[in-house]
Structure 1
Amino acid sequence: MLKTLSTAIFWIAACALPVSAAAQKHPKPRKTAAPATASAAAVGSSVLYATRPEALQFADDLAERRDLDREWVRQAIGQARFLPQVPKLMLPPAKGTAKNWRVYRSRFIDPVRIRAGTRFWQDNAEALARAEREFGVPAEIIVGIIGVETIYGQQMGNFRVMDALATLAFDFPAAHPRAAERQAFFQRELEQFLSLTHRTNVDPFEPRGSYAGAMGLGQFMPSSWVRYAIDFDGDGRVDLFNSPADAIGSVASYFVAHGWKPGMPTHYAVQFDPARLQLDELLAPDILPSFSPASMQAKGAVLDAAGAQHAGPLALVELQNGDDARSYVAGTENFYAITRYNWSSYYAMAVIELGREVAAARAAARP
């Protein structure tokens, strides 16, 4: 999915994690005695991955692939701790749990986030305007992302990223319907994280993030940090924890790499003609834009005037509301681009609507 970006994105110096003075050298191994058992899940959070032969074999393979110091990688992985709560958080909701867009929306579009978003936009208006100018991603979309992800830096996560990634790399819950695929993903993320921290002289146990290992104001996974994060404030490094400008530019960079089209709306209103409606066919591609406006309308989806003139494919996006009637919009390629940040149409709509609400509150506050 990686597309060509400015070479600045791949400049190693610009991919540095924020480093404290105490972490300027490679971390020395912690002299912690390893528990006797080899089963992390059986013992709990006191277990170090030094007790797990498969984890140390992974460390050896990683060191060889990445040309990293073998002992440094073994000790980093060996000192990571199993977090028993993390695998539980990765399991999908129980079957039969009804999705509800209105409830989901209320979690993110609320006075706290709107006020925080207004302050964030005011404080970072120049960086947001420059990102919109250079990347074509509207300021309100960037504001929506950072607000949904972390309430503008208020909730960036308190898990040690090293522990979270190791737990999901070696103890991803087998009950998950895509357990093998997801575990492989987190093994790759652990590899990216260790490679990044090694070359930038950061203690891998210093960064804190989400239970899935996402970091900073925009909650970038390690692979996204390496591929898409940019130094937008011009200080020679990337700091997604403490530099709102870097976070703003990096979110915009991510969207451009995932197909954002400047000037295109995210979605249009849609209604149905019951006599012609072919709902199953319209929903079959899920949220992937697959229909021209004409073909969508031929299947009974009635677009508003702007949607009928849209140049490009559309998708019928369905949002459940519990037991109430479902909501629908016609999503564009930009709506789909937002779902590449988080693969959920509910998430994308929350981002869009939070950004709009913050923009409206900001406009209303002007003299």
Structure 2
Amino acid sequence: MTSHTPSGSFLRSFTLAIFSIAFLTVATVASHAQTPKKTVAAKAAAIQGPPYATRAGAMQFADDLAARRDLDPAWVRDAIGQARYNATVSRLMQPPAKAFVKNWRVYRSRFIDPVRIAAGVRFWKANQAALERAEKEYGVPADIIVGIIGVETIYGRDTGSFRVMDALTTLAFDFPASHPRARERSDYFKGELEQFLTLQSRRNADPFEVRGSYAGAMGMPQFMPSSWVKYAVDFDGDGTIDLWNSPADVIGSVANYFKAFGWQPGMPTDYPVSFDRSRLDMDALMAPDILPTFSVASFTAKGAVLKGPALQHTGPLALIELLNGADAPQYVAGTENFYVITRYNWSSYYAMSVIELGWEVAARVNP
């Protein structure tokens, strides 16, 4: 799921839900706004609930959106009015009913498997020039870009089957009321719905033709609409941005996303770490969670043991804990670049899967 794109505070509270769902599902945009020539067509079957045209609040939102964005009011009302509530979308956004036991080994096995690795090798070899250019222009290594696209959609194989228009509208106006932060999340998805309709208007495209994740994320990199607007680039230079069918645009956009969030060229994502039990202060080491906070000196003073290049690291570090169910957890020392990967999805498990999938693919491309 592309819950990676919202703000950090929004994503932090989604970590457990994202983790559990992972086991269940595995040129520039034209600057001028215009009314799409295609009619808004509601084609998908088995959509639950009445159209949002019956909801006064949704129609008022449509009018306000059209005025803010200088869009055709009739087109916006038609689009939101034809959207339908999707009960599956709502259900998937609710926290798990019972406590979920995190297990890194099981999580890893879902994303680092022979199918994904083989697809990654093919993707890398077919798009090597674009990967090399992205690393040169943005500083993001090919293995990280390849790892992201592989974890997200298996290189475009699984980009989602939900109508984005229905998903965003459902979450904007019917986010599960039982959720303790329902209002905040409803507001977030109203913003994404606004970005999506603005984007589709400028692309002169039918909003109901777009399929994506249950959260409304789109394309090979699973960008939310706001991330598409902010970070997607026309890396193949054909005058359009296509995150479904242009691997070059996908590669450039992912690299641009990471650069925008502070990726530092040449910096490792993590280092091995062990512990000196005689002086270990695990509570202090875990207190900042995945946010890099400790200098090497303060990190080691609290009982973490680093070796080799890690001792020369000049930036802050975080202790990353990967639980293994009833077995002993695993740990790494995460750098600022590890933290940047979690801006895509607020989860250390996700970040390690991206890193290790990239390693596995790279080892086969460049043995």
- 1:124 touches 1:245 (CA, 8 Å); kept in 2? yes
Deviations 1:310-333 (A, max 9, x none): 010011111111111011111000
Corresponding residue for 2:92?
Answer: 89
| Contact 1:15/1:225 (8 A) holds in 2 | no
Confirm or deny that 1:133 pairs with 2:133.
Answer: no
Calculate percent identity across the aligned residue pairs: 68
1:283 is the counterpart of 2:294: no
Equivalent residue for 1:39? none
1:79 aligns with 2:90: no
Structure 2 counterpart of 1:174, one-letter code: A
The one-letter amino acid of 1:315's match is A
Mapped partners of 2:179, 2:350: distance in 1 = 21
Conserved in 2, the CA contact under 8 Å of 1:218 and 1:251?
Answer: yes
Instruction: Tell me if 1:349 matches 2:352.
Output: yes
Distance 2:40 2:347 in 1: 40
- Cα displacement (A) at 1:307: 1.4
Counterparts in 2 of 1:88 and 1:71: CA distance versus 1, 3 Å: same
Q: Which range moved further: 246-255 or 49-58?
A: 49-58
User: Partner letter of residue 349 of structure 2?
Assistant: Y
Cα pair distance change 1:29/1:271, threshold 3 Å: closer
Change beyond 3 A, Cα 1:82–1:16: farther
Quote how far apart the aligned CAs of 1:278 are.
Answer: 1.1
Deviations 1:146-202 (A, max 9, x none): 000000010011111111111111111123343222211111000000011112211
Which residue, 122, 125, 133 being the options, matches 1:122? 125
Q: In structure 2, what is the Cα distance between the partners aligned to 1:208 and 1:119?
A: 25
TM-score, normalised by the number of residues in structure 1: 0.88
State how far apart, in whole Å, the 2-side matches of 1:134 and 1:325 are: 41
Kindly indicate whether the alpha-carbon contact (under 8 Å) linking 1:26 and 1:198 is maintained by their aligned counterparts in 2: no
The TM-score with structure 2 as length reference comes to 0.88
Helix, strand or coil: the match of 2:277? coil
Q: Does 2:306 match 1:319?
A: no
Match of 1:36 in 2: none
1:27 Cα deviation from its structure 2 partner: 3.6
What is the one-letter code of the residue matched to 1:300?
Answer: G
**C-alpha distance in 2, partners of 1:80/1:31?**
8
In structure 2, how many angstroms separate the alpha carbons of the residues matched to 1:30 and 1:140? Answer: 40
1:320-339 aligned at under 5 Å gives the runs: 320-339=323-342
1:92 offset after TM fit, Å? 2.4
Matches within 5 A, 1:43-122: 45-122=48-125
Quick one: which of 174, 189, 192 aligns to 2:195? 192
What secondary structure, in the 3-state scheme, does the structure 2 residue paired with 1:15 have?
coil
CA distance in 2, matches of 1:353, 1:30: 42
Equivalent of residue 293 in structure 1, options 281, 291, 296: 296
- Report the CA distance between 1:204 and its aligned residue: 0.8
Give the match's secondary structure for 1:330. strand
Equivalent AA in structure 1 for residue 68 of structure 2: R
Q: What one-letter code is carried by the residue in structure 1 that aligns with 2:264? A: K
Correspondence for 1:248: 251
Structure 1 residues 216-225 or 170-179, which shifts more?
A: 170-179
Q: Secondary structure at the match of 1:251?
A: helix
Residues 334 and 71 of structure 1: CA distance in aligned 2, closer, same or farther (over 3 Å): same
* 8 A contact 1:16–1:238 mirrored in 2: no
Q: Cα distance, 1:46 vs. partner?
A: 4.1
Asked if structure 1 preserves the Cα contact closer than 8 Å seen for 2:47 and 2:84, the reply is no
* Matching residue's letter, 1:119: R
> Which portions of structure 1, spanning 4 or more consecutive aligned residues, are displaced by more than 4 angstroms?
29-32
Question: Residue 309 of structure 1: CA displacement?
Answer: 1.1
DSSP 3-state at the match of 2:279: coil
Deviates more, 1:170-179 or 1:215-224: 170-179
The alpha-carbon deviation at position 239 of structure 1 amounts to 0.4
RMSD (Å), alpha carbons: 2.0
Q: Return the alpha-carbon distance in structure 1 between the equivalents of residues 97 and 30 of structure 2.
A: 40
Corresponding residue for residue 237 of structure 1: 240
Q: Which residue of 1 aligns with 2:313?
A: 310
Secondary structure of residue in 2 paired with 1:316:
strand
Corresponding residue for 1:20?
Answer: none
Corresponding position of 1:37: none
Residues 281 and 56 (structure 1), Cα distance of their counterparts in 2 relative to 1, 3 Å cut: same
Equivalent residue, structure 2, for 1:7: none
2:37 aligned partner:
26
Aligned length: 338
1:169 aligns with 2:172: yes
Cα deviation for residue 31 of structure 1 reads 9.3
- Aligned equivalents of 1:174, 1:300: Cα separation in 2: 44
Structure 1's unaligned 5+ residue stretches are 3-12, 18-23, 33-42
Deviation of 1:58 (Å)? 1.0
Q: CA deviation at 1:67?
A: 1.6
What is the deviation of 1:15? 2.3
Work out the CA distance in 1 between the residues paired with 2:157 and 2:41. 30
Displacement of 1:274 in angstroms is 1.2
Amino acid at match of 1:281: A
1:218-237 mapped onto 2 (5 Å cutoff) = 218-237=221-240
Q: Secondary structure at the match of 1:205?
A: helix
